[in-house]
Structure 1
């Protein structure tokens, strides 16, 4: 892929490179990010042949480390462990990016007050193939053109005026792919219980969900309108919908799912602050 990062330049340090940060990095490299301008600090992630990899910030600094962009990609509860070493790095002309669930912009500003800006990003795993969603909010003089150039290859960008709804966004879009995949898995399992082979059930389930979301994306209609175009009175689809819609149980279930994920994000924020 040719370089489509445009206005994003400079060196990038990833502090933590697990599943999410690794997916973002894969996409950025595919979009033309120079591997020589990236370094990873993560004692647990498997080393990558194309990227300089260090066990600690101190090791990176000893190797004449420098970066205009630092992204926090470890677990939120590990923030206390690295904040001291990072404080000297995330200063001056450095932009601080964070994908840490539950860690607010105010928390980041308090820990790293010398950065040019703190930018909070909530991506999801579909970023790996350029089909993700990234909610973004910032404090300070963020280079909006560079941030946009960095996030565009990952998929859709949703700018937020502030990060007051980020705990919900984390549950809604960050955790969302796992919830949707679980629904597909359950749909396939139901088909298997009723007589389909496991292979056919999963293939049909994945294609059905894919087609439905593609139809919605290509349409100006609300989901309910499209549902009515599939269902006819007294037909097979309506019989299934009658079960799904009983007493609003499906909406209640999804509300409980999102509430649990949102509340866990708040608990992680407390852990990151050392309050629990």
Structure 2
């Protein structure tokens, strides 16, 4: 698929343009999306050249707002109010896109039954540089080619047959960059405690994690194969691995991290439905 959006057809409305939606929009603009075709409804969004911005949906509607592509990027708790205001403009020509944590396709279909398609997208922050991961699932008569062209500039796209695993994917890839950043931060802090300067520790940690993940992606090997290439029996690497692997504590810790994030996504879904 092409990574250029110069030929992308249709008007787009972003309802909410915080960190994640803003990262996506920034990448789309770099890929050639026409700013004049985009509107943002968000009273707190930083101004973007060439894009019409509104403080509320009422203001956008009052200005004759219309869009064939509507992306929900606000807080999930705001879904009910937003759906009521958008009902008149989400029609059989509208692709309703959502990056709202915990809000299922069933929820979207109930709120926006007239939409041509409801599309649930779970991107992550690396979309900002075109190195993100976006999981996507849809209902209705979705234009899969157009959706693919829209998401492709953001990085890797994984199309799911349904959204039954989306809460886990939200934790795994959506929240995942923050978990990796914390690991890098902690790795650097450990180096600092053992004698490195703070600046050198962070620089070395960032390069080590970045190089290791790049090598893994390029090699096509499983992590265990590369681990064996670094570690030798009785050597320094194996001494460290013995600590990491002790009693399966690392795997247990990460499982608990993902479970907590996944379960919070489910709680947010209940709140969005008015059940929490």
Using structure 2 for the length normalisation, give the TM-score: 0.98
1:136-170 deviation per Cα after TM superposition (whole angstroms, max 9, x unaligned)? 00000100110000000000000000000000000
Structure 2: how far apart are the matches of 1:136 and 1:244? Answer: 34
1:61-91 deviation per Cα after TM superposition (whole angstroms, max 9, x unaligned)? 1111111100000011111121100111111
Task: Write out aligned runs for 1:95-244 (5 A).
Answer: 95-244=95-244
Task: Write out aligned runs for 1:39-118 (5 A).
Answer: 39-118=39-118
Structure 2: how far apart are the matches of 1:190 and 1:163? Answer: 39
Structure 2: how far apart are the matches of 1:99 and 1:109? Answer: 14
Aligned-residue Cα RMSD (Å) equals 1.2
Structure 2: how far apart are the matches of 1:7 and 1:134? Answer: 21
Quote the residue 1:23 is aligned against. 23
Which stretch shows the higher mean deviation, 49-58 or 172-181?
49-58
Structure 1: how far apart are the matches of 2:180 and 2:79? Answer: 29
> Secondary structure in 2 aligned to 1:259?
helix
Structure 1: how far apart are the matches of 2:75 and 2:248? Answer: 35
Quote the residue 1:35 is aligned against. 35
Q: Which ranges in structure 1 are unaligned for 5 or more consecutive residues?
A: none
1:13-39 deviation per Cα after TM superposition (whole angstroms, max 9, x unaligned)? 000000000000000000000000000
Quote the residue 1:11 is aligned against. 11
> Secondary structure in 2 aligned to 1:196?
coil
Q: Which ranges in structure 2 are unaligned for 5 or more consecutive residues?
A: none
Structure 1: how far apart are the matches of 2:105 and 2:185? Answer: 36
Shift of 1:49: 3.1
Structure 2: how far apart are the matches of 1:157 and 1:67? Answer: 24
> Secondary structure in 2 aligned to 1:135?
strand
Quote the residue 1:271 is aligned against. 271
Question: Is the contact made by 1:17 and 1:73 (CA closer than 8 Å) also made in structure 2?
Answer: yes
Q: What is the number of residues matched between the two proteins?
A: 275
Question: Is the contact made by 2:35 and 2:49 (CA closer than 8 Å) also made in structure 1?
Answer: no
Question: Is the contact made by 2:121 and 2:136 (CA closer than 8 Å) also made in structure 1?
Answer: yes
Moved over 6 A (4+): none
Structure 2: how far apart are the matches of 1:28 and 1:129? Answer: 10
> Secondary structure in 1 aligned to 2:119?
strand
Shift of 1:230: 0.2
Question: Is the contact made by 1:15 and 1:41 (CA closer than 8 Å) also made in structure 2?
Answer: yes
> Secondary structure in 1 aligned to 2:115?
coil
